[in-house]
Amino acid sequence: MTARPALEIAVTSPAGARAARDNGADRVELCAALELGGLTPSAALVEAVAREGLPVQVLVRCRPGDFVYDAEEIALMAAEVRSVIASGAGGVVIGALTADGALDTVAVARLAEAARASDRPVDITLHRAIDQSADPVATAVLLPSLGLTRVLTSGGAPTAAEGLAAIAEMAAAAAGVQVMAGGGMRPADIPALVSAGAAAVHLSAKARARPRQGGRWVPLGAGGASAEQDTHFVTDPEVVAEAREAVLRLQETGGT
């Protein structure tokens, strides 16, 4: 038998954390607004999800859109890092780019410093900003010197399965940093990505929630063009269970 990859599930609620826990996930990444790519959750939400028992990695992202932040946004996210850790996060998921597509090492170092200011060890993950960088593999090379724990990446491709070759390069180039494959992940993709060097896999395992509309629907912002689309995502326990089975099979077969 061989060490199996860690299974991380992106969740947005205590119910999602329970679905992940009860179906075999090793940890969760908590965010708000998964339909926007994920934003920083509230302190109360972090506390509620931490009570469900799994290690909680919290996404710190102050707005949707690109990953080029100004000084005020970086200061806000540093404060959010300290807040979510104080609320029970076991780690934070951060990232920032410069206008020319390089890793903003100054901003990332500041956010990492905020995470390490707590009186306990925390994980620090670079999020999928790496996939919008000008050179994802070159960006991964920088991560050990910044003291990051892991990187979540699709290899710079629309999905992790399409970015398999780049993920393999990252795993070889970023010694000491856990490369976690994620982005459009399906359980069936797990064996090939682990063979390429991914030490962990990340799935949103999401399903669109059924609207609970009571009155008539009117559009509010960019949520959707209809009541059916204007909803949120929830965690699908069946997808979590299927992913868990996939990683256990890898352990049993020695990764083949």
Could you tell me the mean pLDDT of each successive run of 10 residues in the chain, 256 residues long? 83 98 98 95 98 98 97 98 98 98 98 94 97 97 96 98 97 95 97 96 92 75 70 92 95 69
- The answer to whether the CB of 111 falls within 8 A of the CB of 75 is no
Query: Which is nearest to 159 in space by CA: 134, 128, 133?
Result: 128
pLDDT in tens, 85-96: 999 999 999 999
pLDDT in tens, 124-150: 999 999 999 999 999 999 999 999 999
SS3 of residue 188 by DSSP: helix
Distance of CA 27 to the CA centre of its chain: 11
- DSSP states of 64-124: SS-S---HHHHHHHHHHHHHHHHTT-SEEEE--B-TTSSB-HHHHHHHHHHHHTSSS--EE
